[in-house]
Amino acid sequence: QVEVIEKRCLDLFGRDYKFSIIHNANGEVCGHYPRQIVYLEYQCTDVDRDGFESSVQISKLQDLVNRSKLARCRGRFVCPVILYNGKHICRSSTLAGWGELYGRTGYNYIFSGGTDDTWTDSEDVPQEDTSVRNGDSQLFDKVRGHDIKLLRYLSVRYICDLMVENKKVKFGLNVTSSEKVDKAQRYADFTLLSVPYPGCEFFKEYKERDYTAEGLVFNWKQDYVDAPLTIPDCFTQNLHIDWTRYQSWDLVEQTQNYLKLLLHIINSDDDSGLLVHCISGWDRTPLFVSLLRLSLWADGVVHASLEPAQVLYLTIAYDWFLFGHMLPDRLSKGEEIFFFCFNFLKHIVSEKFSAVKKQRRKNSTVRDGHLIEEDFCQIKSKDRGSVTSLSSEFSLITGEVGGASSLTNDSVDLFCGQPLTSSWSVAHINRQARLEAVREVFLAAYSTTVGLKSSAPSPSGAISGLLEQFARGVGLRATST
What burial letters (b/e) apply to 316-345, b meaning 16+ CB within 10 Å? bbbbbbbbbbbbbbbbbbebbbbbbbbbbb
C-alpha distances (whole Å) from 33 to each of 36, 97, 300, 401 are 8, 20, 27, 11
DSSP per-residue codes, 415-446:
B-SPPP-S---TTTS-HHHHHHHHHHHHHHHH
Catalytic choice (9, 30, 73, 278):
278
Identify the burial level of 21 via C-beta atoms within 10 angstroms of its C-beta, where 0-12 means exposed, 13-18 middle and 19 or more buried: middle
CA-to-CA dists, residue 187 to 64, 113, 197, 345, 398, angstroms: 17, 33, 21, 33, 26
Closest to 342 (Cα-Cα) out of 469, 203, 466: 203
Name the pairing type of β-strands 191-194 and 156-161. Answer: parallel
Specify the amino acid at residue 185.
Q
Provide DSSP, 288-349: HHHHHHHHHHHTTSSSTT--HHHHHHHIIIIIIIITT--HHHHHHTT--HHHHHHHGGGGS-
C-alpha distance from residue 193 to each of 241, 249, 350, 388 (Å): 16, 18, 25, 28
278 carries an active-site annotation: yes
Q: Which residues are catalytic?
A: 278
